Each structure stands twice: as structure tokens, then as C-alpha cells.
Amino acid sequence: MFLGRVIGKIWATRKDASLKGFRLLVIEPIDHEHKKAGDAFVAVDVVNASDGETIYWVGSREAPNALPDKYGPVDAAVVGIVDQVDA
């Protein structure tokens, strides 16, 4: 998993049926010093993160595991909101 910052939100009315009801956030990957660590991407949000918050996310096969039915066409999921990074 990696740290990230919420930099935006996506609205998409026409999308895959199983994505209905999920919040889609634009995430910028960052490192423990809050430095940019990659290009922005879109992740499904299961913890109601809001704009500007520091979060952590999981990718690849483990991303759909964050969804209620552990299945769905997602390859990145925000799985936690950071209170503090002590590193």
C-alpha cells in the first residue's frame, strides 16, 4: 500500500454497472515526506475521504477486495485516512 493525497473527485454517470454508487477520487501518490511519488490516478473510495486529506490506498488484485462484495472492476482503492505519519 502507499500514501496519497486526495486532489479531486470524478463524476461519471455512464459507467460499468458494478461501479454504481462508488465515490471515485483523484489521488496523487506521495511518500512519507508528502513529496509527489507518481502520477495522479483514480481510485474508488470506501472510507469517505475528502479533498486535501492524506490517505493510503491499495492497488492491483487487492483493490477489489476493499469493496463490499470483494469483486468489481477497480484497480485502486482508498482504504484509510491518515491521522499522522511518524517517520
Q: Check binding of 41 to other proteins (CB under 8 A).
A: no
Instruction: Please select the residue that binds other proteins; options are 29, 43, 72, 76, rule is CB under 8 A.
Output: 29
Q: In angstroms, what is the minimal distance from the CB of 8 to other proteins?
A: 20
Contact 6, 53 (CB under 8 A): yes
10 Å CB burial of residue 20 (0-12, 13-18, 19+) is exposed
Q: Does 40 bind other proteins (CB under 8 A)?
A: no
Interactions with other proteins, residue window 45-64 (CB under 8 A)? 46-48, 56, 58-63
Rounded-to-integer distance, Cα 1 and Cα 25, Å = 17
84 is a contact residue toward other proteins (CB under 8 A): yes
What is the Cα–Cα distance from 73 to 43, expressed in whole angstroms? 11
SS3 assignment, position 62? helix
Residues that bind other proteins (CB under 8 A): 1-3, 29, 31-32, 37-38, 46-48, 56, 58-63, 65-66, 70, 77, 79-87
